[in-house]
């Protein structure tokens, strides 16, 4: 209890209210109790004005009730302590209401006054009705007044305590929120926002102290594999462990942050001018050298990182981070598990790459792509067997760009999906036109690995056949050998679905990958296009010829047609024929041509006047060629 028990209600104890209240006061107390409903009703009627929620009004009613009962039982002979015990609940509710901003303190105070006024009225009415002596009435009123004062004092204390508690809680929550907004929840490290902020401060300070600042952009090399094979739980554990290792090797003035995923950033300040952060990079790489035990069985997991380092002054923290990011990309390209220091030329390369990407995106809408077609031949009779569609880009600023200059970027950005679909539709439509014009030529379309990563390719092929009306057997998809080394199961499934439509499948650039016979057998393959590197310089190269012979024999063993790419010399052609290669393609016969030129070429073929110098007599098989097992 916060207050001393009072000797008398008004502070000036009256004789009769000391130990035992006289019978009149007792009577007043009993009447007060009996009319507590009445007091409540009066208080409520008078309290109109400020609109408070029903829940709050209900609490006011409850407080009025308790207060009346408390003071009434005191008058009726109960002890002050008892009354105060009952009153305590009231004070707490008052305090809470005010502290929680459910009702303003002034409003709470007013309500207490109104309750007092209502009680005074009841006491006076009762006194005159029951002819209670003035002294007893005064005593009763004094007791009421004391209760009122006690209530107000206690209420204020309760209010203060409650306010302090609420403020503390608010501060704690704000702290929590700020932490959440500036830190990564998984590792507890600063997040991008905070790291950029720190880096900005470091840059400012470095300008004054003439010291250097470095930013290191770290990307784990094999995190995705670990995540996929060991599960996300293990992945999270690994990230926390990596965070701890990095944190353990940087100086106190440095900061480690996580940007998300498996990307970390380290900002190092106060370095001697000219220091580039290489040492920090080495320490970070070193910290990962020991395997990290993961899971209950502590499976040792080795993780490596690619680090980009950028040091020196920049206009902003983001600029320094961006340069570190560019350098990290270079570190990935140059074999991972190492670091690369940023150089301006890297930014230029990134810049021109970005421009190329922008131009390529626009090129789709502006219809700047077009196709050329290169014929393929049957090497036995030199008849044309089909054409391969090859993409070109007529850029308003760069001129006609060959596929090597933009297809890799299309693949990297995923734009190849859309362009690849365009090629399929366009090539099939063109082939259908030739068919209608009386040239039933086959058409081959190149398909990137990336296109085979989704079922979309099956839909695209179906659509191209449907819209053009081209017979499925006239279409061949060329897929590079390296594509088949990727996610094998899904690739087999998609290729089989396409094959079931009646479309042919050819393996492009064959011999450059590492396909084993067994591996190749898994795929529904119709033709192997032997890579140009096997054909170039074939003449006077016995080893090359025997290799070629092996590839051709492999095809025959698997009943797969073999086609030689890039035939440029008559000698090459003769050797290919001698080794019984089925088909061929190359500048010797024809370069890639536009659709009109192909039509003229096909017309010529039918007339039997191709420019191909087909040998008239069969060439004897080269005796030097010995097939390898």
Q: Which does 343 bind (CB under 5 to 8 A by kind): Ca ion, ligand C2E, none?
A: none
Structure tokens at 416: 């190849």
Chain centroid, CA 496 distance in Å: 33
What are the residues whose beta carbons fall under 8 Å from the beta carbon of 262, sequence distance 6 or more? 219, 220, 223, 224, 239
Measured CA to CA, the distance from residue 560 to residue 3 in angstroms comes to: 103
CB of 430 to ligand C2E, least distance (A): 13
Torsion of CA 113, 116, 121, 124, to 10 degrees: -130
Binding span for ligand C2E by CB under 6 A among 173-181, 456-464, 576-584, 585-593:
585-593
The angle formed by the CA atoms of residues 545, 449 and 556, to the nearest 5 degrees, is 35
DSSP β-bridge partners for residue 386: 376, 442
CB of 310 to ligand C2E, least distance (A): 35
Say how many residues make up the chain: 629
Q: Which does 219 bind (CB under 5 to 8 A by kind): ligand C2E, Ca ion, none?
A: none
Among 47, 73, 151, 374, binds ligand C2E (CB under 6 A): 374
Nearest CA-CA partner of 137 in 218, 21, 19: 21
CB of 300 to ligand C2E, least distance (A): 41
586 binds ligand C2E (CB under 6 A): yes
Interacting residues with ligand C2E between 463 and 482 (CB under 6 A): 478
DSSP β-bridge partners for residue 105: none
Interaction pattern, residues 434-463, with ligand C2E; x per rule: CB under 6 A: ------------xxx---------------
374 binds Ca ion (CB under 5 A): no
Among 566, 576, 577, 602, binds ligand C2E (CB under 6 A): 566
Question: Of the two residues 187 and 376, which places its CB atom closer to Ca ion in the complex?
Answer: 376
Interacting residues with Ca ion between 455 and 484 (CB under 5 A): 478
Nearest CA-CA partner of 250 in 203, 218, 298: 218
Contact 230, 296 (CB under 8 A): no
43 binds Ca ion (CB under 5 A): no
What does residue 185 show for φ and ψ, rounded to 5 degrees? -70, -30
Interaction pattern, residues 404-443, with Ca ion; x per rule: CB under 5 A: ----------------------------------------
448 binds Ca ion (CB under 5 A): no
Contact 524, 495 (CB under 8 A): yes
What does residue 412 show for φ and ψ, rounded to 5 degrees? -65, -40
Contact 376, 384 (CB under 8 A): yes
Question: Of the two residues 126 and 468, which places its CB atom closer to ligand C2E in the complex?
Answer: 468
407 binds ligand C2E (CB under 6 A): yes
Among 592, 598, 601, 610, binds ligand C2E (CB under 6 A): 592
Among 288, 305, 423, 458, binds ligand C2E (CB under 6 A): 423
CB of 427 to Ca ion, least distance (A): 12
Binding span for Ca ion by CB under 5 A among 182-190, 251-259, 374-382, 558-566:
558-566
Structure tokens at 132: 């209670």
DSSP state, residue 404: G
Among 118, 320, 390, 401, binds ligand C2E (CB under 6 A): 390
Question: Of the two residues 308 and 592, which places its CB atom closer to ligand C2E in the complex?
Answer: 592
What are the residues whose beta carbons fall under 8 Å from the beta carbon of 208, sequence distance 6 or more? none
Question: Of the two residues 270 and 568, which places its CB atom closer to ligand C2E in the complex?
Answer: 568
Contact 251, 292 (CB under 8 A): no
Interacting residues with Ca ion between 475 and 534 (CB under 5 A): 478, 508-509
611 binds ligand C2E (CB under 6 A): no
Kindly write down the DSSP assignment for every residue of 319-362, as one continuous string: HHHHHHHHHHHHHHHTTSSEEEE--HHHHHHHHHHHHHHHHHHH
CB of 374 to ligand C2E, least distance (A): 6
Question: Of the two residues 277 and 420, which places its CB atom closer to ligand C2E in the complex?
Answer: 420
The most distant pair of C-alpha atoms in the chain lies apart, rounded to whole Å, by 148
403 binds ligand C2E (CB under 6 A): yes
What does residue 233 show for φ and ψ, rounded to 5 degrees? -60, -45
Binding-site ranges for ligand C2E (CB under 6 A): 374, 390-391, 402-404, 407, 420, 423, 446-448, 478, 508-509, 565-568, 585-587, 592
Binding-site ranges for Ca ion (CB under 5 A): 446, 478, 508-509, 565
């Amino acid at each position: 209890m916060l207050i001393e028990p009072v000797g008398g209600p008004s502070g000036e104890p009256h004789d009769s209210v000391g130990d035992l209240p006289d019978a009149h006061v007792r009577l007043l107390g009993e009447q007060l109790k009996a009319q507590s409903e009445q007091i409540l009703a009066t208080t409520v009627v008078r309290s109109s004005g400020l609109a408070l929620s029903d829940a709050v009004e209900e609490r006011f009613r409850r407080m009025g009730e308790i207060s009346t009962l408390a003071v009434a039982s005191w008058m009726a002979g109960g002890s002050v302590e008892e009354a105060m015990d009952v009153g305590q609940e009231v004070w707490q509710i008052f305090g809470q209401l005010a502290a929680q901003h459910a009702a303003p303190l002034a409003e709470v105070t007013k309500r207490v006054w109104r309750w007092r006024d209502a009680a005074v009225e009841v006491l006076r009415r009762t006194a005159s009705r029951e002819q209670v002596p003035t002294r007893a009435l005064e005593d009763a009123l004094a007791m009421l007044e004391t209760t009122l004062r006690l209530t107000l004092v206690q209420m204020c204390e309760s209010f203060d305590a409650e306010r302090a508690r609420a403020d503390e809680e608010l501060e704690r929550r704000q702290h929590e929120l700020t932490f959440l907004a500036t830190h990564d929840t998984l590792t507890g490290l600063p997040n991008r926002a905070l790291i950029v902020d720190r880096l900005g401060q470091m840059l400012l300070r470095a300008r004054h102290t003439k010291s250097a600042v470095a930013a290191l952009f770290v990307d784990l090399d094999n995190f995705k594999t670990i995540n996929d094979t060991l599960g996300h739980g293990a992945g999270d554990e690994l990230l926390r462990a990596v965070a701890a290792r990095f944190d353990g090797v940087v100086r106190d003035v440095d900061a480690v942050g996580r940007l998300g995923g498996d990307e970390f950033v380290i900002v190092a300040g106060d370095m001697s001018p000219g220091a580039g952060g290489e040492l920090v990079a080495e320490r970070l790489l070193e910290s990962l050298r020991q395997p990290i035990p993961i899971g209950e069985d502590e499976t040792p997991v080795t993780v490596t990182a690619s680090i980009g380092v950028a040091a020196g002054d920049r206009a902003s923290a983001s600029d320094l981070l961006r340069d570190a990011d560019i350098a990290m990309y270079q570190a990935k390209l140059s074999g991972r598990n190492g670091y690369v220091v940023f150089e301006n030329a890297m930014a230029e390369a990134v810049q021109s790459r970005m421009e190329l990407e922008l131009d390529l995106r626009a090129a789709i809408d502006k219809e700047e792509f077009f196709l050329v077609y290169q014929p393929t031949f049957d090497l036995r009779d030199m008849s044309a067997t089909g054409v391969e569609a090859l993409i070109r880009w007529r850029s308003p600023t760069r001129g006609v760009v060959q596929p090597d200059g933009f297809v890799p970027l299309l693949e990297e950005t995923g734009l190849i999906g859309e362009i690849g679909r365009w090629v399929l539709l366009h090539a099939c439509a063109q082939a259908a036109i030739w068919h209608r014009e009386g040239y039933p030529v086959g058409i081959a379309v190149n398909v990137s690995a990336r296109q085979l990563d989704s079922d979309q390719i099956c839909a695209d092929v179906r659509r191209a056949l449907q819209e053009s009306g081209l017979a499925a057997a006239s279409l061949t998809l060329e897929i590079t050998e390296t594509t088949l080394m990727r996610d094998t199961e899904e690739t087999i499934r998609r290729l089989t679905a396409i094959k079931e439509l009646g479309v042919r499948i050819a393996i492009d650039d064959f011999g450059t990958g590492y396909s084993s016979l067994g591996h190749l057998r898994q795929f529904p393959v119709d033709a192997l296009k032997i890579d140009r590197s096997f054909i170039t310089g074939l003449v006077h190269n016995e080893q090359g010829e025997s290799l070629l012979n092996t590839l051709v024999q492999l095809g025959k063993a698997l009943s797969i047609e073999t086609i030689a790419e890039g035939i440029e010399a008559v000698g090459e052609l003769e050797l290919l024929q001698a080794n019984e290669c089925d088909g061929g393609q190359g500048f010797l016969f024809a370069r890639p041509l536009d659709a009109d030129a192909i039509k003229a070429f096909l017309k010529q073929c039918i007339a039997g006047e191709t420019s191909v110098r087909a040998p008239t007599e069969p060439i004897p098989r080269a005796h030097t060629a010995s097939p390898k097992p």
